[in-house]
Structure 1
Amino acid sequence: MSQIKLLIVEDDLYNQRAVEKTIENHFQEIEIVAKATSVKEGLEAIEQHHPDLLILDIHLTDGTSFDILRQSDYNSYKVVFMSAYHEYALEALKFSSVDFVFKPFDINELIIAIDKAIDEIMDESYDIKIKALFDNIDFQNKNKKVVLQGKHNVKVCQVEEIVWAKAIVGGANFYFEDGSYFFTSKPLRRYESILSTHAFFRCHPHYLINLLKVKEVKYDMKRIHMTNDDEVAFETRRYNQLINALHPNIHN
């Protein structure tokens, strides 16, 4: 592989230099072609250098790094975000499988994020993930999307379409309202952390359910009847948590 061209967009010069040193010390295959401190400078650098990878601070002097993505051909490069402001960004980035490093950043976390970005340089599904990112950071859009990574393909779906999911060897199966399912090669726990803030509940070590899709809880049978007519087992010890999650005002 030829040298990977990197653009660093960071308005804090100390952090900018720290990123630069990390690249110099750990990534001989990366060439830093430009550094910028603003949206304007970042766009100019993209136009001039055509980088393969961007490391972006989210909040810049004249806007946000999302402005850079919206105003350039984001299909032509990969992105690693860095920011201390994760109130809205973290969820969007996680849903889209875009790497996000908290500031003040840990060098090892940055190295891992860059490694992942390099791995995705040849990933044909990356443009799908970025499109999902933009959909999720649109606050007027309540239909959040999640990217499910299969062995050789990806599925972008509305969170509300998912009824339940099952952990299996080598990944997880996601089951949908229309009766279909999708196998993801990522472990269920990876998606649980994302979906738990969107009315999903781990009712069993192997099962994750959408609480909004529950039709009936059959205590004697230890089963949950879902809206797609599937029945999902639950653990007895999680029953009270399940009921409280479904009806938070009920006290057992």
Structure 2
Amino acid sequence: MIDAIIVDDEPHCIQHLQRLLQRHTQGKIRLLGSFEDVAHGVDAIKALNPQLLFLDIQLGERTGFDLLRQLDTRRISVIFTTAYDQYAVQAFKFSAIDYLLKPIDGDDLVESVQRAADTLTKKEAATRYELLLQHLDHPAGVPAKIALPSMEGWDFTPIAEIIRCQAQGNYTLFVLQGGKQLLVSRTLKGYEQLLESQGFFRVHHAHLVNLAHVNKYHKSGFLTLNDGSTIEVSTRRREAFLTRITARSR
């Protein structure tokens, strides 16, 4: 049984989540209470010591991130709930932090609770929360790192060190500076959506490259990257690639 609390400033959202928890997670979640602001939420967490926190992003004039900064994140797992804040959602994805979009769906809730249960004893969860707060503190800048799942846990990889990503079925191979490689159980399409705004371009159905690591474009339709690798640019993507790489050099 996992002890949990809810912090949300909208009573109807609290009631909706309570009903979903009763319906879909009976016997797995014990709800210790619900609170509507940062101060009461922090006090409750210190007093009740829950294992799981359902945390709304917008809490009156403050945010769930204000609350998160006051927690010892080594001792609690957090599932954010949001009506959709585009930048916050992007930060969640870079940091591999779980979130639920309102109105919350029962099936999504079950999956998030299971993932949270799996991370309760893993130390790297605290590092992911730290990474999230770093991203949120620098909204205009490029996120410094991305959290990548590995066989041993999570790798917190500097985005600038990623040379290219290569599709391998339902997996993605990350090729990094220094010859390091990481195989991640997520499709290349998912990382394309995440990294496209960070200077990456999908030059081929199997290859996503960091434009900062492109050394040369050959008229034959190939790229030479900083690590010496040669990558084909597909015919249908060449015009868009040249437009993008030219714009970067201006």
Distance 2:129 2:117 in 1: 16
Structure 2 unaligned spans of 5+? none
Give 4+ residue runs of structure 1 displaced > 4 Å after superposition: 140-143
Task: State the match for 1:207 in structure 2.
Answer: 207
Aligned residue in 1 for 2:192 = 192
In structure 1, what is the equivalent of residue 118 of structure 2? 119
SS at match of 1:98: coil
Looking at structure 1, the residues matched to 153 and 55 of structure 2 have their Cα atoms a distance apart, in angstroms, of 27
Conservation of the 8 A alpha-carbon contact between 1:151 and 1:185: no
Structure 1, unpaired ranges of 5+: none
Q: How far 1:80 sits from its partner (Å)?
A: 0.8
Deviations 1:65-121 (A, max 9, x none): 111111111111111111124132111111111112222333333333223222322
Aligned counterpart in structure 1 of residue 4 of structure 2, from 3, 6, 10: 6
Which digits, 9 at most, give the CA deviation of each residue in 1:3-60, with x for residues without a partner?
1001100110000000001001111210001111000011011011111111110111
Aligned residue pairs, count: 247
Q: Secondary structure at the match of 2:67?
A: helix
Aligned to 2:15: 17
Change (3 A) 1:232 1:126: same
Pick closer, same or farther for the CA change 1:177–1:153 going to 2, 3 Å: same
Q: In the TM superposition, what whole-angstrom CA distance separates every residue of 1:131-181 from its partner, at most 9, and x where no partner exists? A: 211221111764521011111232112211111011225622211233322
Q: CA RMSD in A?
A: 2.0
TM-score scaled by length of structure 1: 0.90
Aligned to 1:107: 106
Contact map agreement 2:170 2:186 (CA 8 A) in 1: yes
1: distance between equivalents of 2:169 and 2:96? Answer: 22
Equivalent residues in 2 for 1:199-238, closer than 5 Å: 199-220=199-220, 222-238=221-237
Aligned-partner residue type, residue 8 of structure 2: E
Q: Please tell me the residue identity of whatever aligns with 1:147.
A: A
Deviations along 1:200-251, whole A, 9 cap, x unmatched? 111111111012221111131x32111222212221111112112212499x
Taking the aligned partners of 2:50 and 2:138, their CA distance within structure 1 comes to 29
Of all paired residues, the percent bearing the same amino acid is 27
State the alpha-carbon separation in 2 of the partners of residues 120 and 93 from structure 1.
16
Write the distance in 1 (CA, Å) between the matches of 2:35 and 2:45.
Answer: 10
Q: Structure 2 vs 1, CA of residues 151 and 249 (structure 1 numbering), >3 Å: closer, same or farther?
A: closer
TM-score computed with the length of structure 2 as normaliser: 0.91
